[in-house]
Amino acid sequence: MLKGVLFDFNGTMFQDSRFNEEAWLAFAEKEAHKKLTRDEFDQNVHGKNNRLVLEYLFERPFTKEEAIEWGEKKEDIYRQMVQEHPAEAHLTAGLPEFLDYLKEKQVPFNIATAAGKGNVDFYFERFELGHWFDYDQVVYDNGDMKSKPAPDFYLQSAAKIGLDPSECVVFEDSVSGIKAAHNAAAKKIFAITTDGNGAMLSYLGNVAAVIDDFTDERVLALFE
């Protein structure tokens, strides 16, 4: 029986893949003098935390402090892009209504995001996430977390709301995030499409459903 919901954020709650990709590409070219291909981005950037991406780009280990400092340079580019495109800076279609529904039904839910504190602060302010989420319960990349596909984000996110991932449905958009949810033994995993990748996500054997957004009737059916 499902008892709770765990959400990835980037590409899931906020379909910002374009901004994230463009920011990483600009950062990689400016700071690491590298032009990433589509495959390189998908394999080494999408869904990974900043420290892993930085170590890939610069081909050397990064300390926690270095990763936070350099990661913020990329995030400054990203946040500026979001602010410059207000028409696209909104929660995924159907998500506010779904969150209201979960709140009304008293279904526990939480966020497990590879984003750092600076971006989490940005999202709470811009999207008024405090209406639904307790900031202190959100699990984000504090510099010590193992990157997805390790299960840690989902193990901790579930624990913060008094549940085990085996009692939760996870909403994710990246392959590494879906693997993380699977490695955490999530009860169900719903994949959110990004840039028309629904067919690819459908081939992942651990995905219960592939959806474009939260208006899909299968979302509300989870807790009816």
pLDDT in tens, 129-166: 999 999 999 999 998 889 899 999 999 999 999 999 99
CA dihedral 31, 19, 82, 80 (to 10 degrees): 10
Point out which residues pair with 172 in neighbouring strands: 191
pLDDT at position 48 = 83
pLDDT at 197 over 90: no
Q: CA triplet 74, 79, 85: central angle to 5 degrees?
A: 130
pLDDT at position 192 = 95
Residue with more model confidence, 47 or 219: 219
Long-range own/partner contacts, residues 88-92 (CB < 8 A, 24 or more apart) = 88/16, 88/18, 88/19, 89/14, 89/16, 89/126, 90/14, 90/127, 91/13, 91/14, 91/127, 92/12, 92/13, 92/14, 92/15, 92/192, 92/213, 92/214
Residue with more model confidence, 108 or 147: 108
pLDDT at position 42 = 83
pLDDT at position 196 = 81
Listed in sequence order, the residues at least 6 apart from 203 whose beta carbon sits closer than 8 Å to its beta carbon are none
pLDDT at 178 over 90: yes
**Nearest-10 crossing angle of helices 17-31, 50-58:** 40
Share of the chain above pLDDT 90, in %: 83
Could you give the count of Cα atoms lying within 13 Å of 210 in the half-sphere of its Cβ?
A: 15
Distance CA 91, CA 213 (A): 10
pTM of the model: 0.90
Q: Kindly tell me the burial class for residue 182, based on how many C-beta atoms sit within 10 Å of its own C-beta (0-12, 13-18, 19 or more).
A: buried
pLDDT in tens, 32-66: 999 999 889 888 887 788 999 999 999 999 999 99
pLDDT at position 172 = 96
